Structures are given as C-alpha cells and as structure tokens.
Amino acid sequence: MPRPSVQSARLNEIVEAAAKCVAQYGLEGVTLERIAEETGLKRPLIRHHAGNREEIINAVVTHVLSGFGELTTMFANALPAKRGSYTAVDHLFDDHGHSDPAEMMVFQSIVAAADRFPAEAEALLKWVGDFTAVVVEAIKRDFPEVESEAAETVAHGIVALYFNVDSLAPLKPPHAWRRYAKNAALLLLRSLEDNAGTQRAL
C-alpha cells in the first residue's frame, strides 16, 4: 500500500486545525495566524499546502460534509425494511447518536454565516435534505397508507427535534432532555399509526 504523501498529510493537518478554529471562532474567525498557532506551521507553509483563507474554509466545509454524508449512508443502510422509522429514532436519540461537538459547531457556524458563505450554506442545506429523506423513506415503508405530506411532516419534526437537542450538546444539558426529545419523536410516529388505522377503517 502506498504511503500518503507529505502534501496530503499536511493538508489534512491544516484542515483539522482549521475545523477547530471554526468550532471556536466561527467561519469568519478563521485566520492563517490561528491555524499556524494550532498546527505549529509557518503561514507560508500553510498557504503552500492548503491555499488562501477562502480555500481553507471551503476545504473544512467539504471535509465536514463528507463526514456527514458518510454517516448518512451508514444510517440509511442500518435501517431495517420493517419498523425502520422506529430504529431511526432509537439511533438518533440514544446516548451515542449525537454528533461530534466540534462538527456541530462547524454546522452551526455555516448556518450563522449563510449570507456570507452561500455556496457552503447551499451544500449544507442539501445534506440536511438528504438526511431528512432517509427518515422520510423509512416512514413511507412503515406506513404505506399514509399520505406523503404526513410522512414528510413527521420526518421533518423528528429531524428538527434531533438537531435541536444535538445543537445543545456542548452545553451538557440534562440527560432527560434527550429522552424527552425521543419521546416526542415517538409520539409523532404513533400519530401515523393512528392515521393508518383510520385509513384502513375507511
């Protein structure tokens, strides 16, 4: 197996350091000086391996979204054909379902600076849509009699609950909050069971 090049290793080091800067200072707080301090590399070396500030920010966003995309694929593949929507809720709201706090801070930084980083914001929005679509499809498999609008509504509610509780993780909220969010998500799914029962009765 070929060894990774020095260029690739340096680039990864710089991108990871920049991601830490984003988590701490936001997208607009990323500077070559802060990256240099984080990596111990000189500014010219950072520019040589990773480009200017804008290129580094783009690389950070690409790196984080790539990780999110891989997790979404794994998430989709882990859902069974039956009761996949309930498995999704278990996965999202169990003790291991939350995101890495640093990645969540990058996520929030992109959202906060969406007007100044439109390309990055658009890429993030697409990922959120792809992630939500996984939950929508699981719901549709479990509740084929339910209208698409209802499936979309419940899926968006579940994802909103997940992002809400996940965004608070750096604050270390009471553990019960995650349980309450999961209970709320289960109530949304059970509303579809009631809906499906009514449709069959008709």
pLDDT tens digits along 24-73: 888 888 999 999 999 999 999 999 999 999 899 889 888 888 888 998 99
- Residue spans of the domains in the chain: they are 62-201
**pLDDT tens profile 131-150:** 999 999 999 999 999 999 99
Computed over every residue of the chain, the mean pLDDT equals 88
Which residue did the predictor score with more confidence, 40 or 119?
40
Q: Say what the pLDDT of residue 194 is.
A: 75
Among 52-56, 99-103, 184-188, the minimum mean pLDDT is found in 99-103
Residue 113 burial (10 A CB sphere; 0-12, 13-18, 19+) = middle
Does 101 have pLDDT greater than 60?
yes
What's the distance, CA 88 to chain centroid? 15
Task: Compute the distance between CA of residue 40 and CA of residue 18 in angstroms, rounded to an integer.
Answer: 12
